[in-house]
Copies of this chain bind each other. A is one copy, B any other.
Amino acid sequence: MAGPALEKKLLLISNSVCHGRPYLDHCADAIRQFLGGVTTIAFVPYAAKDWDGYARQVRSALAGFGLKVESVHETGAGPHTLPDHPAVFVGGGNTFRLLKTLQDRGLLDQIRRRVLDGMRYMGSSAGANLACPTIKTTNDMPIVQPADFHALGLVSFQINPHYIDADPNSTHMGETREKRIAEFHEENDLTVVGLREGSWIVVDQGRATLHGETGAKLFVPGKAPAEWDRQTGWPA
């Protein structure tokens, strides 16, 4: 009998928009496969400031997938509760704002429990950060202060979305992404997946697998950074 760990089904997307393509277009086939059979999906808009506008945008985009969207800020048993649907989509934006709002509304535990119980979790950018043990590998500015940095902990590793390789010709002296992740490892010992734009991770049956065209860089504490070999899955 499958325990909670095997029930978890996640689709974690680096970026919702690839340059020059419509919203979620680059991973449309993966979404269709992941959400097969789902007709209504809950949506978490809290990473943005304008929840109504964000819900409208996502409702319109996901209509193309045959999905009805209910945003948690306006539906469910009451505003800011999680409606009882078989899947949830957590959209991108600012990770600090997303986490703080979920903490303030008491929704973090609700989402975690439901995912462990089989609700499918789709997250892009900040929504991918949120699935990790902490938000400590976000790229976002700390524009608001969450109670703490702990997130859903639905996977065992950290994701750095929008991962970008260092430009060898750059004269900018701000830290490269790789240098920032090295700083993370000076203080933390979790593996970090540098998930390039155009890539996504599927978690199913207790395994994480890599998909998309652009790949991901794996930062394992104490080891040299290396490409994620997409032939091999990974315990999630």
A143 x B186 contact (CB < 8 A): yes
From known contacts A172-B197, A173-B162, infer whether A141 and B137 are also in contact, taking CB-CB under 8 Å.
yes
A171 within 8 A of B: yes
B142 x A149 contact (CB < 8 A): yes
Which of the candidate stretches A14-22, A69-77, A78-86, A227-235 sits at the interface with the other chain? A14-22
A188 within 8 A of B: yes
A104 within 8 A of B: no
A164 within 8 A of B: yes
Kindly identify which residue among B15, B96, B149, B175 contacts A174, using a CB–CB cutoff of 8 Å. Answer: B15
Residue of B nearest to A139 (CB): B174
B141 x A184 contact (CB < 8 A): yes
Kindly identify which residue among B17, B137, B171, B197 contacts A19, using a CB–CB cutoff of 8 Å. Answer: B171
B135 x A187 contact (CB < 8 A): no
Number of identical monomers bound together in the oligomeric complex = 2
A9 within 8 A of B: no
B183 x A94 contact (CB < 8 A): yes
A33 within 8 A of B: no
A140-179 residues at the B interface, CB under 8 angstroms? 140-145, 148-149, 161-162, 164, 171-175
A199 within 8 A of B: no
A113 within 8 A of B: no
Residue of B nearest to A160 (CB): B141
Chain B residues positioned under 8 Å from A171 (CB to CB): 19-20
Residue of B nearest to A174 (CB): B162
B180 x A17 contact (CB < 8 A): no
Q: Give min CB distance, A146 to chain B, whole Å.
A: 9
A78-134 residues at the B interface, CB under 8 angstroms? 93-94, 96-97
Question: How would residues 182 to 215 of chain A score, 1 for a CB under 8 Å from any chain B CB and 0 otherwise?
Answer: 0110111000000001000000000000000000
A-B contact list, 8 entries, CB within 8 Å: A15-B173, A19-B173, A93-B183, A138-B141, A138-B142, A143-B186, A143-B187, A172-B197
